[in-house]
Amino acid sequence: FRYPQGCKLDQPNSRIFLPKLGWIRYRNSRDVLGEVRNVTVSYSSGKWFVSIQTQREVEQPLPAATSAIGIDVGIVRFATMSDG
């Protein structure tokens, strides 16, 4: 089942608040980054699992340029590069 809203997360104490169930302890496998959007609770192989969906801004990494070349577009040759 899914909780689309009303969920709160207390990461330092490994607790999650689910409406109508209250505060529940969970095993934190990794840090939750961003704002909690919805929580999905599932039951599989005799165990309960919680999946937390978040939203956050991620900065796009800039490509690391190792070298620069020049391109000459001409009539005799379509493109001639400065490195040959």
Query: Percent of the chain at pLDDT above 70?
Result: 93
Whether the pLDDT of residue 82 is over 70: the answer is no
- Per the CB < 8 A criterion, the answer to whether 13 and 29 are in contact is no
Please give the Cα distance from 21 to 23 (Å, whole number): 7
Q: What is the rounded distance in angstroms from the CA atom of residue 4 to the CA atom of residue 30?
A: 21
- Give the Cα-Cα-Cα angle 47, 49, 15 (nearest 5 degrees): 115
Rounded to two decimals, the pTM is: 0.64
Measure the CA–CA gap between 51 and 81, rounded to whole angstroms. 52
The pLDDT assigned to 16 comes to: 92
